Structure 1
């Protein structure tokens, strides 16, 4: 129901046009009421700020009340009109000065000035860059004190991405960095009650580092790692500057070999005993779910590094012996081994010197043998070689050779050799890591072992070299193996 206040009875007709059918007519006891202003709240504000004017005898008919701001000729619309309270919004163009209220023919000018707050202005941001959920502080002026009146945002890919406003004073805004889908430097925009700040600041949105996978580059032995191995860390938010990224493995600092935003190549440090990979960038950490493991000491690694290393040995299909055009089933050449020509069984009408031998039960042996009893022009074997070249990480190893038998009497000699590099040395070369067999009438079965140390990842040659020069001299190997004994 609309309440209409009348000053004098003879004015009743003048007010009836403003009444609804249900309007209640209230006759004032004071025959000559004067409107008064008791307060204006707030006494300062931006354009758009809602101002409450408290007083008496304003009436309830908004058509009879006008409010003027300094600098604006037109009265402003009333947001509400009650006998003791008026509400208006600061209009465009308003200037600092008193408010003027006109109630019917009565004009009242406020004693206090209403101060028009200038547009907000940002002076600084506490940090120039940050991650989602970081807190930042904007300092400046004319921010007001109402959180809901403040918008702080960046325009990213055409969309206004807003900060969460945590608190606000007239000179300081605390806000939380939003999550974004695009990273880099963007403008910070501020508005208070819809009024844009007179300036903009810049802010760099950082992508949080995250690890999605950790793998060993060219693993030698399963997924185990060794000092000096390269590990590939994939994910996001790594940046592109290697010096700006720190990587630890099991708590030990690791050398960053290369860095892109999605992939880091890092080298396993000396002393690594296993553990997770941690990437630190801009004081933020990402930790891998997967923990890398080192190989336990005294582990047989033959299946990972050696090829064709035990019975039944595989046959090299390109080197199967024939005599007189007939295939001979009990001699061939082993696949995956480097075999010198004077040991190799050739696929032509040549007589056999060794390589791979078959016994009556179809078991195969790595073999070198010479006999004057053969029906062809058999040739003595000098510096006959059978070996493999493998890449080994830093550590201590044991090379084991199992022999079924050996007949190495007189001038015959066999050397079991482990040497750095990719070349098998000749018989009698100065190699520390070797075992020399010779002068033995007959020996069976037996095992020979060589321990050696790899000081840094490198290629090593493991195998056999011998002089088989007397009739019926031979050796037969049933298997070879390699064990990792641990770090030095």
Structure 2
């Protein structure tokens, strides 16, 4: 009985295949007899303890109870079994070894070796900053070689990085498109791997591409200073910012994130040059074009010594057309340019900046680039610094008989003095100052001294202006007095104009500043908004007669009462408040609540009975006769209780004489 029992157990342990032949008879196939097992591949070829290993091959059978799988000497746990694939778990304590299969006592040793990896570790990431889609390299150990097992996450996106390749000691991956600066996260299979950039204290820097948008100039000379503008102008000690004019590198003077100041290189070619910027991380794609002008050359200077004011001719080629781009210095004193062309420059010798005569440096700059430095002797010469009057309105305004003061250096009495071409007898106060009276017949001009020993007349830069009857002197009396009026900085909508004072109920309402309107717009948009509203300036006027003219571009109102009056009152105390309107010789006038505030001019600009509409008019005031120098308040006083306004385009002050 015992032998029969063992025989039955053996038969039951065999995998039995059954089928029916054509005659319907049952057939028993003892499948494992003379079975040929083969292993074609394993995946992965390296991995970690506790992870699955897939073995591909043939004739494995379908019963895991009959199969044993080993990695070297270490038996694995079989997860699943089929004819062509086995899935097993790498056991604890397993070490690297060949894949061995044992089926019902028959052992098959494959030629394939599975490497059991230790704990993966990262030693370096390079670079630690890059642009989106750039490749980075992670080096370390025990990474395996399965690309799909590597998951590399970046801050700012759920998308994991594209892994380009994976070796046991190196992983290459691309930075995702939406990644931002921050920690990164590395997982290989089920193993989370710490990296230098995987904690809050470490960050991978995702760089933003720089931009190069414009230059402060698009043409200039070699040696000129040019500012490049954009964003992301970043350099490091190892890789500083670089700017190229074609193939030539320019000198970088200074840089910020938004600007680079460079000097156009001497090696740059004439004509258009492609200007390119290279940061520490990239060559910016945008290219600007800079036209390098032919460098000016100076071939001769007509004289090497002269008096102040003498003309000197500088000859050469490639001089700039615009005189504003040319400066000539005599020992630091800047010369007056008389004329210029592409080949010739005529200047007047300037007084040395330090007042020391003799040998000085003659320097010629074009577009702030020095193209010539030579030696020049400035002969000792008297020169005028200023010629001014004591007129309160302006030290350039004079009347016949007014005394002027002329200051300078070396002003000796052995010469002839003329004012506006008329000879005068000055009174000298040493060699640095003299006084003279404006002569009869003077119509305007400069002060000139002539000396027999000096070939060049000594002439003032200041030109004196004769104050004549009927002259418009508004520029000397008022600020911001004509269209376009300038509003206070940083204001829009409604605002008071620069240079004007105002009462509290004129705050931000003295001027409508909408749709490019530049009138002085005295307006209101609500009842009682401008009862006794005041907008004014204060000025001291010298003795004499004056009148004012106000150009009104438009007057409008809806209903109710709206009146604007132009006033001039004595003193720096604004205007008195109105009390009521009363009949006067020339129409209705206002009565005021403070008789001590003397109103010199009271002129109506608009009320219910005057409809100007879009037709401009000029309102002229009566004459003011000031018997002495007087401080006055000039401006507008309003009375309104509804929506209305007056647009003033100009205010003129006319001098009528004494």
TM-score range, shorter chain: 0.3 to 0.5
Name the structure, 1 or 2, with higher relative contact order (CA <8 Å, separation 6+): 1
TM-score (norm 1): 0.48
TM-score (norm 2): 0.38
